[in-house]
Amino acid sequence: MKNIYLVVFMVFLFFGSYGQGINTDYYKYGASPSDLPDFLLQSVETEPLILGISDPDMDSTKAAKQAIERARSLLYLSQNARVRSLFDYYMGEEYSGSGGTFQSFVQLAVHDSVFPEYVVLDTFYTRFQEAIVRIRPSSDDLEFGFTIGKSYDIRMEKFRLEYEWGGAAEFQDQTEMEIQFFDSITSSDLISVYKYSHQFEVYSAADGEERFFPTLRYNYVQPNAGQQQYFKYGLWVHIMDRFIQEIANESKRMRELVKKTGETYESSTTLSQGVTSNLVTFQIRDINLVDGEVEISLEVEFLEY
């Protein structure tokens, strides 16, 4: 009997110590992928795609609220936002190698008290407790809501620095989205994404409450494709980062109307600068996930030249 008890004890000890070594986050997030809704990744032929996605691992009620506010913010930005951009490119030769730096700053912002009415079309929850919400304006005429005593301040910014020295290239950038709705109760949402070469960090705070993401890759499977895609920190940070980059690309293609300089020093150093400031409207026509990257198709119209 003592031998039997000893064997049973050893079995419990083995499984107990094994269980302590299990990465519970892996089994919560990494064992199987989450499905994604059709409306997120399929082309929208008849209307633009206006959506918001919450941070992962949130209470369903808070997640839906955050996703709706992010979707509303894209709607308000899409109507009449100001895009400002600064591009600064320096190229020169020093010592035995050549080098250069490229800096850019792009801001898409709107501050207003006019609230277009909207309706929620779809709500979907991933297995990582992310709420994905799609909305659209209530009518094509963009009806405006009752706004006395209400306003909002929404901005998206991206700063990027690229530098090359002796053939080696590095970069760092920071993307930030801040949403503030001013009513009888002030609502706020801030998310900041920092990249330095292969480092990737995220900070998020909603209504003054900070959130820290687990350092995990979230995996998703596309409808009808069956291919898994891995995204660290969930979907929204990647969609937001790619979206403002597309706005930056469009802004660079515009004429620098405020200021443009191009100067050469000592026949080997070139400095080029440009500044733009325009009102824009935009529509998101398509979103795709390709090899762990987000691709976004935008239609942008510049209203002020």
- How many percent of the chain have pLDDT more than 90? 30
Higher-pLDDT residue of 69, 266:
69
DSSP one-letter string for 103-148: EEEEEEEEEES--B-EEEEEEEE-TTS-EEEEEEESSTT--B---T
Overall average pLDDT of the 25-39 stretch = 70
- pLDDT tens, position by position, 279-303: 889 999 889 888 888 999 999 988 7
Of 28-37, 38-47, 237-246, 283-292, give the range with the top mean pLDDT. 237-246
Instruction: Give which of 155, 64, 77 is closest to 114, Cα–Cα.
Output: 77
Q: What is the pLDDT of residue 23?
A: 45
Residues 72 and 85: their CA atoms lie apart, in Å, by: 24
Q: What is the pLDDT of residue 244?
A: 94
Say whether pLDDT at 17 is over 60.
Answer: no
Please give the biggest Cα pair distance in the chain: 93
Higher-pLDDT residue of 230, 97:
230
Of the listed ranges 17-21, 160-164, 172-176, 244-248, the one predicted with least confidence: 17-21
pLDDT bin (cut points 50, 70, 90) of residue 71 is very high
pLDDT bin (cut points 50, 70, 90) of residue 262 is low
pLDDT bin (cut points 50, 70, 90) of residue 143 is low
pLDDT bin (cut points 50, 70, 90) of residue 46 is low
Residue type at 100?
G
Overall average pLDDT of the 251-276 stretch = 61
Q: Give the chain's mean pLDDT.
A: 78
Overall average pLDDT of the 55-84 stretch = 92
- How many percent of the chain have pLDDT more than 70? 71
Overall average pLDDT of the 148-172 stretch = 84
Residues 100 and 156: their CA atoms lie apart, in Å, by: 27
Helix/strand/coil for 195:
strand
- pLDDT tens, position by position, 191-225: 999 888 778 889 999 888 888 776 677 888 865 56
Instruction: Give which of 237, 301, 244, 238 is closest to 109, Cα–Cα.
Output: 244
- Cα distances (Å, whole numbers) of residue 245 to 22, 28, 101, 185, 249: 39, 32, 18, 32, 6
Tokens of 113: 């008290």
